[in-house]
Amino acid sequence: MNSETLKRELRCCALAFAKKRGLEVDSSRSTAVLFSDIKDCFHPDSYQEILENPDWKARIQKTHSQVPNAKEMQSSNSSDVLLMNIFCHPKIGEWKGISKLIGAEIDEVAFGFSGNVPRCNGKTDRTEIDLSLTGCLCEAKLTESNFTAKRAEVVEKYLQLKDVFHVEALPRKDGDYDNYQLIRNFLAAAQHKQKHILFCDERRPDLVRRYMETVSCLREVQHRIDCRVIFWQELVAACGSSLREWMKEKYGM
């Protein structure tokens, strides 16, 4: 399944979810539903936790890059909403299935973690990592089509690029480096001596292939071992029953 097909599936699920609950939405777009009230995008227990944490509360106010006067997390396609619904839930630390999947207890949760990846000019790239957990950095994807590409002159200015990667093996696209977000993520993971996890939908094997082709370019065997893919469906199945059923209905998982 490609990103456009998944967008349409999520849109159908979101419309049914909203209709059942009498929620107001903007359904004028063919690939996404925008919930009029952002709280309707979140499970009530997760949303209450978000409101009580200043950093989390500020994060859900990010503006939408393509829709004027809208928040990014009002969209049915937002991977950040999916991420925060799970990891902001007050009982996340009690769900042993989640900690087993992650490989660590869930006792430190930070969204928008700054990677501080060093550049050759002495400055740092304040790479924003979607989620930082104990000993692990995580990238969240849902309907995004790829991990973006970047010009060679930008990528090659990272100080540790040649130490961390077999640069000649990194995927290229018309001269640019493909999977740029992963390159930055893996540089940050190496910088902070962290493992790395990609969260994505099991209906998106294309993203898994892109992830693994970049993992294969890491020089250190341990760095490659420390990279994993966990499907949203696995996470949802390990959640408590209330959130699990809510997520299955909203996302069709």
pLDDT in tens, 41-77: 999 999 999 999 999 999 999 888 788 888 999 999 9
Q: Does residue 127 have a pLDDT over 80?
A: no
**Weakest mean pLDDT among 15-19, 105-109, 161-165, 188-192:** 105-109
Q: What is the pLDDT of residue 107?
A: 84
Look up residue 140 and give its DSSP letter.
E
Q: What is the pLDDT of residue 105?
A: 86
The first and second tokens of residue 157, run together, are: 């200015």
Cα separation, 112 vs 95, in Å, equals 23
Strands (E), the chain: 25-26, 34-35, 110-114, 117-118, 124-125, 128-133, 136-140, 172-173, 176-177, 195-200, 227-231
The first and second tokens of residue 39, run together, are: 């709280």
Cα separation, 248 vs 14, in Å, equals 11
Query: Tokens 């089509």 correspond to what residue?
Result: 145
* CB 147 within 8 Å of CB 178: yes
Query: Tokens 């456009």 correspond to what residue?
Result: 4
- Strand, helix or coil for residue 189: helix
Percent of the chain past pLDDT 90, that is, above it, reads 80
* Average confidence score pLDDT of the chain: 93
3-state SS string for 8-60: HHHHHHHHHHHHHHCCCEECCCCCCCEECCHHHHCCHHHHHHHHCCHHHHHHC
Q: Determine the average pLDDT of the residues in 222-244.
A: 96
Q: Determine the average pLDDT of the residues in 3-18.
A: 92
Q: Which residues contact 172 (CB under 8 A, 6 or more apart)?
A: 178
Cα separation, 83 vs 68, in Å, equals 24
Cα separation, 235 vs 140, in Å, equals 12
Q: What is the pLDDT of residue 217?
A: 97
Cα separation, 148 vs 129, in Å, equals 15
Q: How far is CA 27 from the centre of its chain?
A: 24
Note the residue count of the chain: 253
Q: What is the pLDDT of residue 188?
A: 94
Model confidence, pTM:
0.91
Q: Does residue 23 have a pLDDT over 80?
A: yes
Q: What is the pLDDT of residue 177?
A: 95
